[in-house]
Amino acid sequence: MPKEYARSERLASQIQRELASLIQSGLKDPRLGMPSILEVQVSKDLAHARVYFSLLNPEDAEDCLEALNRASGFLQREIGKQLKSRVTPRLSFIYDDTDIRGRRMSDLIDSAVASDKVKASR
């Protein structure tokens, strides 16, 4: 019977949990704000991990991205200690603003529907 999840998927979920904890408690950079780790994708060879994050305040995205990239070595080392695996993936942080764009599109659709209702009622 095949495994339900590939090793890279199991590792990705564990890295996501560890990163969320480390960023909250281990990093003191004031540029960070409060990033939410949305998803981690680990390559099949376990050498690279893409970490997608979002912020409540999108204006701080560049500063937060810079702070996370500067701390990536520290975070990778700490994750390696927690995972106790032979290979620790190299971390690449990517700001994900799909939720913000989705809300903006939803607002545009709502305003278009509202204006259509106003025109139809005339």
Convert the pLDDT of each residue in 76-95 to its tens digit: 999 999 887 788 999 999 99
**Rg from Cα positions in the chain:** 19
Q: Cβ(19)–Cβ(51) under 8 Å?
A: yes
What pLDDT, on a 0 to 100 scale, did the predictor assign at position 68? 93
Pure H helices in 72-97: 72-83
CA distances to 3, 23, 41, 60 from 97, rounded to whole Å, are 33, 19, 17, 12
Mean pLDDT of the 107-115 span: 88
What pLDDT, on a 0 to 100 scale, did the predictor assign at position 1? 45
What pLDDT, on a 0 to 100 scale, did the predictor assign at position 28? 85
pTM: 0.78
Identify the burial level of 100 via C-beta atoms within 10 angstroms of its C-beta, where 0-12 means exposed, 13-18 middle and 19 or more buried.
middle
Q: Cβ(71)–Cβ(93) under 8 Å?
A: no
Write down all domains in the chain, each with its CATH number in brackets: 7-97 (3.30.300.20)
Is residue 3 pLDDT above 70, yes or no?
no
CA dist 20 and 89 (Å) reads 16
Q: How do residues 7-47 score in pLDDT, each as one tens digit?
A: 888 899 999 999 999 988 888 888 888 889 999 999 998 89
Give CA 94 to chain center in angstroms. 7
The single residue listed with the structure tokens 């999108």 is 58
What pLDDT, on a 0 to 100 scale, did the predictor assign at position 76? 93
